[in-house]
Structure 1
Amino acid sequence: MRELTSDERQELRRELAAVAADWAQRLKNSDLDTRGGAAQESSSEERMLTHLARMAVGEQMRRLLTDLVSASAEEAVQYGAGYPELGAAVGASRQAARKRWPGLSISKRRASEWRQPPGSIGWAGSHLGYPGPPGT
C-alpha cells in the first residue's frame, strides 16, 4: 500500500477536523440543554469549551480508529495476511506488528499451509547434516 501524499494527508486532516468540530458542537449543545440553557458564557470561556469539546471528540475518534484498525487486522488475517503484511500496512516492521497484535492466530494457520518435502526431517535437516529418515 502506498503512503498518502502530502495533499491527501492535508485533505484527510481537514475532513477529520470538520467531523470533530461537528461532533464537538453536538456535545456542547447537549451539555447546554442538560444545564437548562445556562447563561451566555464569555467569549474566552466559549472558546475554551469549544476546544475542550474538540479534545474530547478527538480522543473518542482515536479510540474508535484504534478499534477499527485492530478489527481490520483480524479480518486481514482471515484472508491470508501475516505479520509482515500487517506491519507494512501500518508502516511498521513484522516484529512491531506481532507485538501490537499478539493474539492473532497467524502462525498456526500459516504453519498448516506450509508444505514439507517427503520425509520426516525436511529440507533443512538434510542440508544441515542431520541424518535422513530411517532406510535412506
Structure 2
Amino acid sequence: MTDGEMTDRVAAAVDELAHRLVHDLAHPSGDGALDARWQALARLRVLVQVERAVHDLEQGAARAAAVAGAGYPEIGRAASMTRQGARRRWPGLTRAMPGLPPRPSPRSSRP
C-alpha cells in the first residue's frame, strides 16, 4: 500500500469515526441553521480530540519502536521524516530505554 493510499484509508476511517461520535453526542433540535452550526462545532471538537489521541498514540508507538530496538533512522523512515527530524520530535527516545543495552561511546571502541 502506498503512503497516499494509506492516507486516504486513514482519512476515511477518521471521517467515519467523527461522524459517529458527533451523532452520538446529544444535540439540540431546532432550526436547520442552528443544527448545522452545532454539528460543525461538534465535528471540530471531535477532530481536536482525535488529534490529541493520535499524538499520544504516536508518542507511544515511537517509544515502543525504540524499546524494540529501532534507532532514529528507522523511526524517522516510519514517520516519513529524516533521522534528525525524528530526533527533534522525540528527543532522548533511544537513550537509556529499559531493555536496551547502553550504546558504547565512539571513544570506547578505540584500543
* TM-score, normalisation: structure 1: 0.67
Aligned length: 107
Q: Give the corresponding residue for 1:23.
A: 21
Corresponding residue to 1:73 among 62, 67, 85:
62
Structure 1 gaps, min length 5: 33-37, 123-132
Spell out the pairing of 1:50-129 with structure 2 (5 A cutoff): 50-104=39-93, 106-107=94-95, 109=101, 111-112=103-104, 122=110
Structure with larger Rg? 1
What's the CA shift for 1:89?
Answer: 0.7
Report deviation, 1:102.
0.7
Residue 10 (1) aligns with residue 8 (2)? yes
What percent identity do the matched residue pairs reach? 29
Q: Secondary structure at the match of 1:111?
A: coil
- Where does the alignment leave 5 or more consecutive residues of structure 2 unmatched? none
